[in-house]
Amino acid sequence: MRAILLGNGKREGVLEGVAALRPEIERYVEVVAADFTGQLDLTTVDADVALVFGGDGSVLRSVHQMGENQLPILAVNLGTLGFLSSVDPDELAPFLRSEAFENIQVREQLLLNCSVWRKRSSSETTPDFKTISSRLSSRATPSTWLSGVSDRYCCSNHLVVNEVALRGGAPFSILKIDLAIDGELVTRFRGDGLIVSTPVGSTGHSLSAGGPILRNEAGLVLITPIAPLALNFRPVVDEASRVYELRAVTGEVFLVVDGSSRQKLDHDDLVVIRRAPFPFKMIRVPENRYYRNLQRKLGWAFDAIAQTGK
């Protein structure tokens, strides 16, 4: 089986951890590429699996780096929480020599596509779409409740693993954000910001803002308010097949994708979020059970007597 090795080489312990594990790894797979800088173009790399070393941030970076060429990921936890981790370092070699690895099963998980549509002034020309998006969405303008959409062009495009967040900048006043779903205006939200997350992202920023936890394989999108002014605005869960549109109508607003990519929005920019045309893939590890993982990572306590059924 052909594999690529990925991770954040600037993170303490990653390069040392990979160096210690690599002789054992090469007993079971053919390493065709390795990148710990995040700079290698992986969109055309021919491999069967990606071994990603680090924490959840390393997995996010690897998914973005692979683009449309999504390889099944086996995540080796060299980080802290590691919600997306498949195995710990001491579990890697036993899994690679197991029957489960020889007959890998893949869990497909939702990716979103987020594009920003900007009004074109008389002096502006539409930029070359391919330099922005690598074909993550079509040239077609979104179906929207706004008028004059034909005067807009796509100025940026992002692959989303965890979440899209609209956050305020200085002077940090309350934001007003219009939310529409499938072209129907839902509400004008007032508060510190709004998060649109995947099920994988539900254990990240959304959870800290009071959102629920969604199982990773669920084909759902979660909308979570950040400090809403109206206490009756609560998290909303809907289908991933729908088109979600956000427009910040006041304040200085920033678009933040997966906690790293950051873009300042112009007034009246339209943010369109829809399902990406491909999923990202995680290799199933039989011992890595979903709720067992939550128990470990979130420190959930439970009655030992209830566990034994007595």
Higher pLDDT, 110 or 139: 110
Of the listed ranges 22-26, 31-35, 120-124, 131-135, the one predicted with least confidence: 131-135
- State mean pLDDT over 246-269: 88
Average per-residue pLDDT for the chain: 85
Show the 3-state SS of 175-240. EEEEEEECCEEEEEEEEEEEEEECCHHHHCHHHHCCCCCCCCCCCEEEEEEEEECCCCCCCEEEEC
- Cβ proximity of 114 and 272 under 8 Å: yes
Give the whole-angstrom CA distance, residue 263 versus residue 118.
Answer: 13
- What tens digit of pLDDT does each residue of 2-50 get? 999 999 999 888 999 999 999 999 999 999 999 999 999 999 999 999 9
> Token pair of 108, please?
């497909």
Higher pLDDT, 150 or 112: 112
User: Which among 99, 128, 80 is positioned nearest to 298, based on CA atoms?
Assistant: 80
- What tens digit of pLDDT does each residue of 67-107 get? 999 999 999 988 666 678 888 899 999 999 999 898 999 99
Give the whole-angstrom CA distance, residue 62 versus residue 180.
Answer: 31
Going by pLDDT thresholds of 50, 70 and 90, the confidence category of residue 232 is confident
Q: Residue 74: its pLDDT value, please?
A: 95
Q: Residue 66: its pLDDT value, please?
A: 94
Q: Per-residue DSSP letters for 63-81?
A: HHHHTT--PPEEEEE-SSS
- State mean pLDDT over 196-220: 93
Name the catalytic one among 35, 46, 48, 56.
56
Q: Residue 112: its pLDDT value, please?
A: 96
56 is catalytic: yes
Q: Residue 119: its pLDDT value, please?
A: 84
Going by pLDDT thresholds of 50, 70 and 90, the confidence category of residue 146 is low
Give the whole-angstrom CA distance, residue 228 versus residue 193.
Answer: 8
